[in-house]
Structure 1
Amino acid sequence: MSTLTIILIVLLVLIVLVVLWAISAYNSLVGLRNRVKNGWSQIDVVLKQRSDLVPNLVETVKGYAGHESGTLTAVTQARAGTVQAAASAQDDSRSVATRAQAESRLSSALFNLMATAEAYPDLKANQNFLDLQSQLSALEQKIAYARQFYNDVTQKYDTRIQQVPSNIIASLFHFQEAQYFEAEPEARQVPKVDFSK
């Protein structure tokens, strides 16, 4: 074999290896992007379940603590905000942040509602309320798990997009970083509950 033939074979092998690496990197990024979308869908499903539970919870509490209208109104408005955030931010790049803000407000309002319910022994003994409270607690745990899964997958995806050499493929094919589902600063503070009114 001539030197030219050997050089051509080596070049061909290198080109094939680079093409195979590029295909592998692209497929890996697509797989991670789809896992991020799946993670977001899982959060969305559980948040929808919680949102659907809120009207029943509000109606049950209203029967026992109807004069707590400020708390009940806050929960109802927060739920409406989550429904609106889910609908208006469907494909928006800010959808994660918008949804996180709305869900944070609903979580805070639900915390206040549950704290208000503590002042009503008859309500706390009501089986319907206890069932709804149990369902809400289970949904909150599912939400926490789904958020953790989503953020873990988002971290892997964003890291892969930023790492050399896969960042070259990410840049060529316009892969965008995903947003984390983060709590708002207000949600990190313990809500104040005042029973003196």
Structure 2
Amino acid sequence: MEEDKRPALGPDPSLLLVDDDEMFVTRLARAMERRGFETRTALSISDAMKMIEQSPPAYAVIDLRLEDGNGLDVVESLREAREDARIIVLTGYGAIATAVAAVKIGATDYLSKPADANDITSALLADGELLPPPPENPMSADRVRWEHIQRVYEQCERNVSETARRLHMHRRTLQRILAKRGPR
């Protein structure tokens, strides 16, 4: 007889997923339901706030940057509504300052995208002082650097000179990096 591989959830398996990427949040909701969570999804801060008012979840995964504002507002609202909630802040723009702000405001943990359902489940269910196990396939340092450069490049409206200035790089060096494919 096969053992049940579902994680041990508390008495309340409610999970709120907040992300403005509809395809991502839908896939993640299905994966988390297979792990025993009762998921609800919100694509905006306003939707998330309404769901928290109606019934604050025991668990939440909240994207940091949403189209209608900052996910930290949702973290703060959920922490006020339910002190024991386990909250993970998930973002594609990892920075130490943001991680510190998220934890100070009440997040349990902070994960950078791409995080899969296993990483998120481990973080949601991690014991207080124990860190969750490292991810199976973390992004390489080269990939993280490349992603950061791409993000700044897009924010500078694809202006190479402005991007180089903001990243404190030589323009030609940046052009060579942008001409290559991203590392794996």
Q: TM-score range by the shorter chain?
A: under 0.3
Q: TM-score, normalised by structure 1?
A: 0.23
Q: Which protein has the bigger helix share?
A: 1
TM-score normalized by structure 2?
0.25
Higher share of residues assigned strand? 2
The structure, 1 or 2, with the larger RCO (C-alpha pairs under 8 Å, 6+ apart) is 1
